[in-house]
Structures are given as structure tokens and as C-alpha cells.
């Protein structure tokens, strides 16, 4: 089937080959993609040709009659698939940021083809045989450290995908993978249906009491779209749910809406996920066992910095006690408020946001609208340029001569202190219908080496920030400010990456990824930094000390709750994936017992209950929800080093951080790289302090 499709496409589009920009070197400044010449019809032929080229490259490796060496096997494999990489960079950036029906159709067709292509490579017995031969002799082949590391990484990749198993076990594994992918898809479909099915219609104006106007307007618009004009419709999507929980005075409606949310996938209807999850959990244990691991968590974490599930469990347990204690204090404070107001009830989960908001106002008197004028997009952008410049000496210059994929995309050249070219950054700031939600950092080229020449990185940062309106420039919320710093931290990681081999350059484990980003984010709220970039867009007045103080103080607000719900979810994830025998689970019971075991208070639910925990059942975070907190320990510890030195821009430390944690991040194991920078293991105390837990 796949083959037939490929032939069809390659015939149909043959005439396009000559002018297909993916088939030759980009003829643009800094070799950026020639977006003005790329047409949707170029993608499929380039994908097909790219896969064909890579297959030919692999055939050449396995048909070589010389005995396997690094240079005739591992190196050409590492460098294979250039055309495929080129078209993938452009295509998969566009599917996220400027998609359309044509692109979506190509995506549906090409995704299974690519996954199949990948399987064929990693299940290619002859290729594995040659890689294995090099692996076994790696210490006697006069290879340097990096070459040995590349060989070991590839060997492990093959092994982890089942290349080392006997034929019958490979067949079982393929079958399990197939079942898992079907179940995972089913999980997502059920959730989507549940989301769509729930709505809360409000028809009495007094039931909107307490809500901000923006929330009321949005609900009226949703009602209109659903042909319920004159009423208000609230959904369980976060932008509708959270303000309602924070501000709606009607307690019964808060409960109704929150129930709609936390019962997702657990309603005993056609979209119930209990059974789906039980099957996924069971199959994962089987898969791990086939591959020689005790549990699925052991399989996943073996590849991470943490190395073992025990280490993760221990880490989470350490944070759990102080977080829960703090949440209990927050609860006491809110209950006092309820009692004082004469409310004769015990706080319930759907009351938490409402009373927390009241405490926040009373304690910190912080209003978002008071802050926004100081955070115009241009000023915040200058803030990240300033911080990057002070830490690493780099400079930024706006370019106007590069082709872009959408009119308001901005491009910058990044240069070293000595003026040497470092890379290019694309910024795509504002929402549009063709862009998915959220913010992320991607790119169109990775730093590396090709044919003995250095390849410079091309980074892309995509956000969904507030737009300018009328005479008012784009003014960012505090959350957006932090997001820009965060994504730019990922960007710096890509810009600074060095390394000769694709397999290792900048290639870090999952629980390392958020170190560069969260590190950069730490600078956003630093008073010394705020005073440089946070200036009133009208008057140019520097942000007042009083406001800085409020921002700083409120950063520890409600952290007991935030940490507790996050940790509860991370622990639940670990419990599912620590299972060592493939048994039939009763999901409701399992979740209940897991939460009872750690003493979670009934006023707080895990951030995701089992039946809608997409990270672990649908996404790539199985036995991996802990990574956000894990990276935050490193970040807090790293930042502490700067603070202790008395200079948050300490040149010496910045140079070390850049070298070991950014440039050479993939050269060694994550923790070793970190130790090279810090000279010691990270301590957990700085995180506890930062979160207000100590
Ligand atoms: Zn991130």
C-alpha cells in the first residue's frame, strides 16, 4: 500500500523536480529556506525523494564489502537523509504555525509513511549487524571520545527499538506497538469527544456575578456560535474554566463546571477511557518485559538523567512532604476566610481557585492591568536581547532581506562578541487561525557539520501573544513575558550547540530539555533586569519599585497548591509505570489508592486525573511527567550559583554554563555536563526556596 502511494506521487509530480527548492542548496542569505519559492506541491515529491535517497545511502552502507568501521558505517548513517531532513524542517514547522487543508492532507498521508520508513531502518538486520560490529570493537578502533559516544548511542537506539531480539519476539513487539498506537489514538478521540460534549449554559444574569467582563463576553460568543443567543455558554477548556472557578460567586455552578472537567473520560459512556488506559498500562508492562526491563518506567528512565525509577520516586517524595504541608496551610487560611464571611461549609475542590484569588488580592494587591503597560512586546524583546548580551556577549541585528513564511514574521541575525555570525532567529509572535495554541521553539536548521563545513543554526520561536490594537502596541501579560524568556532559552541552546555528529549535537535527554529554557526564564523577574526592559510604553518611565516588589512577593503565592497537584500527577504517572506484572487494573481503584497512599487531601485533585492524563497516555511523557520539576532543580541550583557570586551576570559562570550546558550539552550524559559547569551535584534546597517551600 505504502509503496503504491509513493509511486503514484512520484510519477504525478515528476515534472516539478527541476524547480523543487528542496532538491538543491538554498540560494538565499544564510541559507534560510526560500519561502517565497516553496509551494505546497513541492512537499510530497521531496519527502518521497528524501526517503529514497536515505534508503540508497543505507543500501550503500550495508553492501560495502569492507568490514564495518566508524567511517564506513556509523558516520554515513549519521549523515544520511539530508533531503528528508530539509523538507521535514520546513513542513513540520508550517503544520504547526501556518497550516491549511492541503498541508493537513499531506500530513495525514506522510506521517505513517515516515513512521514506516523509520521502522524499516531500525529493524534492518544487516544495518544493525554492522553497527553492532563497530560497537563491539569500539574501544580497539582508535576512536575519539565523541565517536565512541555516537557508536554507543546508535547501538542503544537499535537495541531499545528491539533490533537485538529474536524474530518471534520482534513480531510480538511489533504487534504490541500496533495495539498501543491504536489505543493511544482512541484515548485522544474519547477525550476530544468528552470535551465537545460538555457545556454549561447560563441563562440568568445573576449567575454571572463576580466574573470579569472578558469572561462574560467570551461565554456570550460561545453561546452565539451554538445558536443559544442571549445566553452564556461555559466549557471545560482552560480559558473558559479557570476564570469561572476564580471569580464566579455561584458556588453550585462552580461545582458543576469543575465536575464536567474532572470527570472527563470517566462517565461510563461511549467515550469512557477507563478500559483504554487499563489496556495501555498492561501492554506497556509487556513491552518493557520483552525488551528486558523490570517495568515500563525502568525502560523509559534508563535513557534519562535520572537513570532509574527509584531515583525519580525518591526525588518526588522529597518534594511531596513540604508541598503538602504548605497546601494545608493555604487551606487553613482560606477556610478562615470562608468562616469569617459566614459561609457554613467546608472548602471543596471547586472552591480553591475562588478563595485563593481572594487571598491573593488581599495579600498582594496585584492587578495584571497595572503591569501590562510596562511590558510592550518590543521592550520585552529588548529585555531578552539585553540578558543574552550581558551573559554571553552576543548581539542581535534585525534583518529585512530574508524570505519569511508569513508577513509579520521577524528575523534577526545573531553575532558573537567579535562580530562572527552565530545564527538566525525567526520570531512569529501573534495568533492566527492557521496556528496551533501555545508557544514553542523550533528551527529550520540545526548547528552541526556537513561535508567538513560548519552548518549554522536557524532557530524559530513561535508564540500566541496579545496583538497590538489601535494606537496601543502589543502589551504582554506577565505569563507571556515569562514565556518569551523561556522559549528564547531553548533558542539559545540551539544557537550555541556545537558538535560534529547529528546523533549527539544538542541531543539531550527528556529531563534535561527544560534546563536552558527555565534558566533563562529566571532572569525575567530579577529587579535589576526589570529596570532595564520594563518601561512604560507611553512615558518611558521605568517600572516602579513598588510594582517590582508585588511581582516578586506574589511569585510564591498558592505554591503549595500548584506543587501538590503537579506532584500528585507525577506520582500517579510513576505508579502506573512502576508496575512489574501485566495485570488487569481497575483504574478508579488504582488512582484512589495511589492518592490515599501519599495522603493527598480531598480538597486537591491531581493536576490530571487518570482518564484525561494526555501527557502519559497520549503524548510522550509516560513515566516522564516528573521532568519539569527535575529540570527546575537544576535551574534553581544553577541560578543560585550566579546569585551566590553576587552577580547574576557573572562572566566566568556564564562562560562555563554556555560551554558545558549549552554548547556541549550532548557531548556527555546530562548530569556529567551539569557537574562540569557547577563543580558539584545540584542541591534541591534552591528549588524549595524558590517555590517558597523552605
Ligand atoms: Zn520549554
Q: Please tell me the pTM assigned to this model.
A: 0.85
620 alpha carbon to ligand 1 midpoint, in Å?
A: 14
Gap from CA of 522 to ligand 1 centroid (Å): 13
Neighbouring C-beta atoms of residue 528, cutoff 10 Å: 11
User: What are the Cα distances from residue 124, in Å, to 127, 128, 160, 286, 444?
Assistant: 5, 6, 14, 23, 29
602-621: b (≥16 Cβ within 10 Å) or e? ebbbbbbbbbbbebbbbeeb
pLDDT value for 1: 28
Chain CA centroid to CA 538, Å: 35
Residue 16's pLDDT is what? 47
Q: How many beta carbons lie within 10 A of that of residue 420, not counting itself?
A: 8
CA dist., res. 409 & res. 422, Å (int) = 20
Where do we find the cell 548547528?
447
Residue 633 CA, ligand 1 centroid: distance in Å:
15
**What separation in Å is there between the alpha carbon of 503 and the centre of ligand 1?**
21
Closest of 694, 661, 654 to residue 676, by C-alpha: 661
The pLDDT value given to residue 435: 79
Q: Is the CA virtual torsion 399, 404, 410, 416 positive or negative?
A: negative
pLDDT, tens digit (0-9, with 9 covering 90-100), for 51-89: 999 999 999 999 999 999 999 999 999 999 999 999 999
Residues annotated catalytic, as ranges: 487
- 10-residue mean pLDDT profile of the chain (694 residues): values are 32 56 96 96 97 98 97 97 96 89 86 81 93 97 97 95 89 85 83 88 97 85 92 87 92 98 96 97 97 96 94 95 96 96 96 92 80 94 97 98 95 98 96 77 94 95 83 86 95 97 94 94 96 96 94 87 96 98 96 98 97 87 92 95 97 98 96 95 90 82
Ligand 1 centroid to residue 521 C-alpha, Å: 10
Secondary structure of residue 241 in the 3-state scheme: helix
C-alpha 487 – ligand 1 centre gap (Å): 6
What pLDDT, on the 0 to 100 scale, is given for residue 17?
Answer: 56
DSSP state of 406: S
Q: What spacing in Å lies between the alpha carbon of 517 and ligand 1's midpoint?
A: 6
**How many Å lie between the centroid of ligand 1 and the Cα of residue 621?**
14
How far is the C-alpha of 2 from the C-alpha of 52, rounded, in Å? 13
Taking the centre of ligand 1 as the mean of its atom positions, its distance from the CA of residue 12, in whole angstroms, is 41
Q: What are phi and psi of 669, to 5 degrees?
A: -65, 145
Do you know the residue count of the chain? 694
**Per-residue 3-state assignment (H helix, E strand, C coil) for 57-90:** HHHHHHCCCCCCCHHHHHHHHHCCCHHHHHHHHH
Amino acid at each position: 500500500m505504502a509503496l503504491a502511494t509513493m509511486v503514484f506521487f512520484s510519477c504525478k509530480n515528476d515534472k516539478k523536480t527541476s524547480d523543487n527548492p528542496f532538491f538543491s542548496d538554498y540560494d538565499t542569505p544564510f541559507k534560510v529556506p526560500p519561502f517565497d519559492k516553496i509551494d505546497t506541491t513541492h512537499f510530497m515529491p521531496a519527502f518521497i525523494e528524501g526517503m529514497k535517497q536515505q534508503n540508497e545511502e543505507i543500501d550503500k552502507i550495508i553492501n560495502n564489502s569492507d568490514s564495518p568501521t566508524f567511517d564506513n558505517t556509523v558516520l554515513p548513517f549519521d549523515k544520511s537523509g539530508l533531503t528528508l531532513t530539509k523538507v521535514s524542517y520546513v513542513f513540520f514547522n508550517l503544520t504547526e504555525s501556518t497550516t491549511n487543508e492541503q498541508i493537513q492532507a499531506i500530513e495525514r498521508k506522510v506521517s505513517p509513511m515516515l513512521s514506516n520508513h523509520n521502522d524499516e531502518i531500525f529493524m534492518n538486520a544487516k544495518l544493525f549487524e554492522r553497527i553492532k560490529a563497530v560497537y563491539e570493537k569500539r574501544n580497539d578502533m582508535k576512536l575519539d571520545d565523541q565517536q565512541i559516544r555516537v557508536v554507543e548511542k546508535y547501538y542503544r537506539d537499535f537495541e531499545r527499538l528491539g533490533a537485538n531480539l529474536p524474530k518471534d519476539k520482534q513480531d510480538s513487539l511489533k504487534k504490541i506497538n500496533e495495539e498501543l498506537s491504536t489505543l493511544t489514538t482512541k484515548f485522544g478521540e474519547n477525550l476530544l469527544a468528552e470535551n465537545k460534549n460538555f457545556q454549561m449554559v447560563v441563562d440568568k444574569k445573576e449567575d454571572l456575578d463576580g466574573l470579569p467582563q472578558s469572561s462574560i463576553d467570551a461565554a456570550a460568543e460561545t453561546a452565539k456560535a451554538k445558536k443559544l443567543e442571549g445566553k452564556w455558554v461555559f466549557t471545560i477548556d482552560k480559558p473558559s474554566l479557570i476564570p469561572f472557578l476564580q471569580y464566579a460567586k455561584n458556588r453550585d455552578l462552580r461545582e458543576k463546571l469543575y465536575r464536567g472537567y474532572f470527570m472527563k473520560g470517566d462517565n461510563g459512556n461511549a467515550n469512557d477511557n477507563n478500559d483504554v488506559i487499563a489496556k495501555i498500562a498492561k501492554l506497556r508492562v509487556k513491552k518493557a518485559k520483552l525488551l528486558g526491563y523490570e517495568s515500563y518506567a525502568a525502560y523509559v528512565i534508563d535513557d534519562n538523567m535520572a537513570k532509574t525509577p527509584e531515583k525519580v520516586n525518591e526525588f518526588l517524595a522529597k518534594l511531596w512532604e513540604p508541598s503538602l504541608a504548605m497546601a494545608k496551610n493555604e487551606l487553613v487560611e482560606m477556610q478562615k476566610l470562608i468562616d469569617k464571611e459566614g459561609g457554613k461549609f467546608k472548602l471543596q475542590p471547586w472552591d480553591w481557585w475562588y478563595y485563593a484569588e481572594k487571598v491573593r488580592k488581599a495579600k498582594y494587591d496585584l492587578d495584571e492591568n497595572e503591569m501590562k503597560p510596562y511590558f510592550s512586546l518590543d521592550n520585552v524583546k529588548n529585555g531578552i536581547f539585553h540578558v543574552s548580551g550581558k551573559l554571553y556577549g552576543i548581539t542581535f541585528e534585525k534583518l529585512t532581506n530574508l524570505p519569511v513564511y508569513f508577513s509579520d514574521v521577524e528575523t534577526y541575525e545573531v553575532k558573537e562578541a567579535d562580530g562572527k555570525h552565530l545564527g538566525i532567529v525567526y520570531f512569529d509572535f501573534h495568533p492566527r487561525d492557521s496556528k496551533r495554541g501555545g508557544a514553542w521553539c523550533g528551527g529550520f536548521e540545526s548547528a552541526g557539520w556537513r561535508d567538513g563545513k560548519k552548518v549554522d543554526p536557524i532557530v524559530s520561536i513561535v508564540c500566541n501573544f496579545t496583538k497590538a490594537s489601535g494606537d496601543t502596541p502589543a502589551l504582554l501579560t506577565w505569563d507571556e513575558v515569562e514565556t518569551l524568556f523561556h522559549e528564547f532559552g531553548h533558542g539559545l541552546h540551539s544557537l550555541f550547540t556545537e558538535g560534529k555528529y547529528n546523533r549527539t549535537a544538542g541531543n539531550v535527554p527528556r529531563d534535561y530539555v527544560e534546563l536552558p529554557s527555565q534558566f533563562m526564564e529566571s532572569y525575567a523577574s530579577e529587579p535589576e533586569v526589570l529596570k532595564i526592559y520594563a518601561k512604560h510604553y507611553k512615558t518611558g518611565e521605568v517600572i516602579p519599585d513598588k510594582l517590582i516588589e508585588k511581582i516578586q512577593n506574589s511569585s510564591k503565592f498558592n505554591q503549595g497548591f500548584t506543587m501538590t497537584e503537579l506532584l500528585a500527577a507525577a506520582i500517579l504517572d510513576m505508579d502506573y509505570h512502576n508496575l512489574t506484572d501485566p495485570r488487569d487494573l481497575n483504574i478508579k481503584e488504582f488512582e484512589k489508592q495511589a492518592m490515599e497512599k501519599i495522603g493527598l487531601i480531598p480538597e486537591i485533585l491531581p493536576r490530571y486525573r487518570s482518564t484525561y492524563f494526555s501527557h502519559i497516555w497520549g503524548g510522550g511523557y509516560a513515566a516522564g511527567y516528573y521532568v519539569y520539576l527535575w529540570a527546575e532543580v537544576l535551574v534553581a541550583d544553577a541560578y543560585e550559583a550566579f546569585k551566590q557570586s553576587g552577580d547574576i551576570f557573572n562572566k566566568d559562570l556564564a562562560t562555563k554554563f554556555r560551554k558545558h550546558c549549552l554548547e556541549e550539552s550532548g557531548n556527555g550524559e546530562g548530569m556529567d555536563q551539569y557537574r562540569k559547569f557547577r563543580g558539584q551535584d545540584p542541591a534541591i534546597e534552591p528549588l524549595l526556596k524558590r517555590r517558597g517551600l523552605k
